[in-house]
Structure 1
Amino acid sequence: MHRTPHRRSLRITAIATLALAVAALTGCSSAGSASDGKTFTILQYEDKTTAQGQGWQLALQIFKKKHPDVDVKFQTTSFDGFRKNAKLVLGGNKVPDVVEFNKGNADGGQLTSQGLLQDLDDQVTKYGWDDKITGSMQSFAKYDEQGKAGSGKWYGIPNVGEYVTFYYNKDKFKQAGITAEPTTMAEFVTDMQKLKGAGTTPISSSAAVNQGFNQMWIWYSLVSAAADRKHIDDFMFLKGKVDFSKDPWKTGTEEFQDWIDKGYVGKDLGGLNYEQATVNFLSGKTGMLIWNNGVFSRIKDQSTFGWGSFTLPGASMSMGSSGHLWGVPAKAGNKELAYDWINTTLSKRVQDKIGELGGLPLAGDTDAISDPVTKAYTQRFDEVVADDTLSFYPDYPVPGFLDFIQNNMSAMSNGNETADEYLTKLQQFYDDGKKTVNQG
């Protein structure tokens, strides 16, 4: 496992991955800048084993058949690699024709406000994408002139949704004397006590400063559990004053520290990333894993034990959002092909394949899903979207927030920072970042 001191090497690896993609773009004859449409470059970071990744492989087959004269370059980078170097990639002389990018003011908003992405309003109307992407799923597709999400022009197009659940090992639950899924927070805490008493780490987690996302998701899930729509929208869309010394932030963060102190999330988390947390769950070392639908098909295919999933019991709000976004660089040379590519990923064949694999497609048919476990998982997502109880992800509002939160999650998980100390730092960072966003 990688310890915290190695975070520099991890970051270098991510940047190197992107550098290879940039070099490949530069090396392609007229890649991303050809006006004749003979070379078309897609840059994305989904693992091809995921439901979304498999759906996009089908989209690639469809697209190539439709455009036999086009040399399609389907290039893969890493999430962190693109997020940290997006401005370099999109601001160069040779750019991809279509890219996958992260949502929110901190990432997508920065790119739109700096004119690096093409607005898609005309294409949304032409293709009817707003009939497929509705309600809260539109929230991070639109940005105003300052780069604030929630209103303005369309700059990104998601084609899946996301929500965070607790995947659980039914065998571990049974061994600990747990006979049913918890329905309240009190029952959930009791179940964690039973798992720990049986010698099983209750929740598989991670807190590496590079891709140690699990602890952040546990923390924000506990905040969301006590939040309402106004709390979330004020925080996420910079609509009002957010006081982190009060609830739901105080209660959620104190509960999070309590879970750390009681060993519910394991130990030595500063050296673990999300992949290692997933492996620990799949290998039967832990009782639960907190993650979104990105790991659904993997657990379904690779688990050697009976499993199930549930959202945090008794929570008012649940973590989730639209998926990452397709965007078209302002300098792209093949924009019409880019629009057709996006439309292909939203086509019925592609969306239904993603749905069959548990990928939560925004334009798929839930009733058409044949597997009952996958269907039930998708129906639960449909419910939280219809109820408008998604709290999005905590790193979206201000620039640099993801790195800030991950660093402090690591500090709290290692016992080097208290809940109150974290909330004080959180207030300062958020307020400073809000000023930066509001100044455009």
Structure 2
Amino acid sequence: MRSRLTVTLAALLTVALAGCTQGGKPADSAKSGGGTVELTMLTFETPNLPASLWDSAIARVEQKVPGVKIKKLVTPNVDRTTYAKQLASSGQLPDIMIAVNPQGFAEGGQLAEFTQDDLKDFADPTSGAIKGKIYQLPTNAQPQSLLYYNKDDFAKAKITAPPKTWAEFLADCGKLKAAGITPIAVGGGGQDTFASMYTWVGTVGTDVYLSDPDFSKQITDGSKTFDDPAFVKATDKVAQLAKLGYLDKQGTSRSYADHEKAFRAGSAAMYPMGSWFATSADNDKPKFGVGVFAWPSDDGKAVVPNLTGGGLSVSAKAENVDLAKKFALEWTKDKETSDAFTKADGTFNTIKGYQPPADMGPLFKETLAIYNQAVKDQTVTPALSIEQGDNGLPADMTVPVQQIAVEVLNGKSDAKAAVTKLNKEYASLK
């Protein structure tokens, strides 16, 4: 898994999609009589990725693929996978989907497989494989659980440098609290429970996945359970942060957008988040200086949990799989589209030869440098609850894990109770 994650990075985001020639209608049938085939495309919107960005990219690529008209669908929240499952249950699985976990869909024969020829332009064409086959393009790497911090708050608390070890991190949290500053922002309100995960993703990355990158696979094959000592230790670290009063507990009632707004307004000194915040802060600078550092570990290794994937999948029963594939490839190759998403959402493109825009902001460059160093040091790990392919937890575990994370952050659950619930949730899925 570690070698799978260490993709060569000169670059950042491209959201790409592709399909294969199985299933659907043949390409020629769509254009008989000069007609146009309409393909549905499931997207999602965030403060970084507004409707206008999607619309302009879709329109641009449509011009390059004669015979295709895209009907954009938008998830009601950022949980694309759950929404796609709801659509699939009523026979409405979109023709094209972005950043939807392929697990379950692939095994059920609902997704088109990508061929080796389709994947020839990817730095790591085997990333996210399910039983040796690729159903979602491994288009970008997106570091998780980086710690973005308010430099003014650190100065007020007389913290002269970001912590590297867990002991230093706890000491700095104590200094911030003593100075009247909430140390760590957390989120997870409403339907945005994903924002609850970043402290837990960080501790599991350092205490579990760094030494045992196949942990989730071992959960799946039954050789381990969530009450494994290393996992309990990682979970207890989060519970201790809550017990010590180092978390902004009000944050667990905030939506993702409000969570970011609160940090920008000074709700806490540190904001555990993904690399997309770097471009958000570069594009709309907060009133204070923002720095970034990797999640601290017991021995000081800079660990970076990461998602490699997030590209597009194509329904095996798409209105026209061949044309969906053509649209996908053009989307992938279109530099203007790639650059627009890189600037907006701070992901690291894994398409061979792609170079990010030269005018990317300073926080983005700092974030990229941290990731590149972790690649060099082999301290890139999977990210809890969004692991990919055969090395990932079942997609149906994602929401329960997030909900349990909220309980830990709120101090309503300790490590023992949390892992007990996880084991029960997993057993119920089996």
The TM-score, its normalising length taken from structure 1, stands at: 0.77
Say if 2:419 is the partner of 1:426: no
Q: Does 1:343 align with 2:329?
A: yes
2:109 is aligned to 115
Give unmatched runs, 5+ long, in structure 2: 1-24, 387-391
- Name the SS of the counterpart of 1:231 in structure 2: coil
Q: Return the alpha-carbon distance in structure 2 between the equivalents of residues 81 and 375 of structure 1.
A: 28
Give the equivalent residue in structure 2 for 1:35.
30
Give CA deviations for 1:332-391 in whole Å, capped at 9, x if unaligned: 122222112222332261334444553322226457633462333223323434526222
Alpha-carbon distance change, 192 to 312 in structure 1, aligned in 2, over 3 angstroms: same
* Aligned position for 1:102: 100
Contact residue 120 and residue 155 of structure 1 kept, 8 A: yes
Decide which structure has greater helix share. 1
Tell me which moved more, 385-394 or 48-57: 48-57
For these two proteins, the number of residue pairs brought into alignment is 386
Which amino acid in structure 1 is aligned with residue 133 of structure 2? K
Letter in 1 for 2:385: P
Provide the residue aligned with 2:384 in structure 1. Answer: 393
Work out whether residues 118 and 327 of structure 1, in 8 Å CA contact, stay in contact via their aligned partners in 2.
yes
- Counterpart selection for 1:178 from 156, 159, 162: 159
What is the CA–CA distance in structure 2 between the aligned matches of 1:154 and 1:295, rounded to whole Å? Answer: 29
C-alpha contact 1:98 1:329 (8 A) present in aligned 2: yes
Whether 2:206 is the aligned partner of 1:225: answer: yes
Please tell me the root mean square deviation across aligned C-alpha atoms, in Å: 3.2
| Residue 200 (1) aligns with residue 177 (2) | no
Q: Among the aligned pairs, what percent are the same residue?
A: 22
Q: Deviations over 1:306-349 (max 9, x none)?
A: 11111112357432112423111111122222112222332261
Relative to structure 1, the CA distance from residue 360 to residue 73 in structure 2 (aligned partners, 3 Å threshold; closer, same or farther) is: same
CA 1:351 to 1:311, structure 2 compared with 1: closer, same or farther past 3 Å? Answer: same
Is the contact between residue 301 and residue 379 of structure 2 (CA under 8 Å) also seen in structure 1?
Answer: no
Equivalent residue letter for 2:62: K
Which of 293, 296, 313 does residue 310 from structure 1 map onto?
293
Aligned counterpart, 2:350? 362
- Deviating more after overlay: 172-181 vs 376-385: 376-385
Task: Judge conservation of contact 1:119–1:155 (CA < 8 Å) in 2.
Answer: yes
**Structure 2 residue aligned with 1:72:** 70
Pair 204,94 (structure 1): closer, same or farther in 2 beyond 3 Å: closer
Listed as ranges, the matches of 1:127-276 within 5 Å are 127=118, 129-134=119-124, 138-140=126-128, 142-144=129-131, 152-164=132-144, 165-208=146-189, 210-229=191-210, 231-236=212-217, 238=220, 241-276=223-258
Cα offset for 1:270?
A: 4.2
In structure 1, stretches of 5+ residues that fail to align are 1-29, 145-151
1:201, 1:264 within 8 Å by CA — same for their partners in 2?
yes
Q: 1:409 to 1:388 in 2, by over 3 A?
A: closer
User: Alpha carbons of 1:416 and 1:354: their partners in 2 closer, same or farther (altered >3 Å)?
Assistant: closer
1:384 to 374, 382, 398: 374
Greater Cα offset, 43-52 or 239-248: 43-52
1:63-108 per-residue CA deviation (whole Å, 9 max, x = no partner) reads 12223554332332245564224245346566533112423xxxx2
Whether the aligned pair in 2 keeps the contact of 1:175 and 1:198 (CA below 8 Å) is yes
Alpha-carbon distance in 2 for matches of 1:333, 1:109: 22
Partner amino acid, structure 2, of 1:376 = E
Change (3 A) 1:235 1:55: same
Q: Which amino acid aligns with 1:174?
A: A
Aligned to 1:25: none
Maintained 8 Å contact 1:98/1:338: yes
CA distance in 2, matches of 1:355, 1:42: 23
8 Å Cα contact 1:42/1:98 also seen in 2 = yes
* Aligned position for 1:416: 412
The more displaced of 157-166 and 407-416 is 407-416
Q: Which has the higher contact order (CA 8 A, sep 6+)?
A: 2
Displacement of 1:394 in angstroms is 2.1
Q: Is the 2:205–2:384 Cα contact (8 Å) retained in structure 1?
A: no
Shift of 1:231: 2.5
Structure 1 position 280, deviation (Å): 0.8
1:63/1:424 CA distance change after superposition, 3 Å = same
Native 8 Å contact 1:157 1:342 kept in 2? no
TM-score (norm 2): 0.79
Q: Map of 1:80-99 to 2, 5 A cutoff?
A: 82-90=80-88, 96-99=94-97
Deviation digits for residues 37-68 of structure 1 (CA, Å, limit 9, x no counterpart): 61333423333753798875564243122235
* Mapped partners of 1:221, 1:163: distance in 2: 11
Whole-Å separation in 2 of the counterparts to 1:348 and 1:77: 24
Change (3 A) 1:341 1:392: farther
- Provide the secondary structure at the position in 2 that maps to 1:83: helix
Residue matched to 2:4: none
In 2, Cα distance between equivalents of 1:90 and 1:191:
48
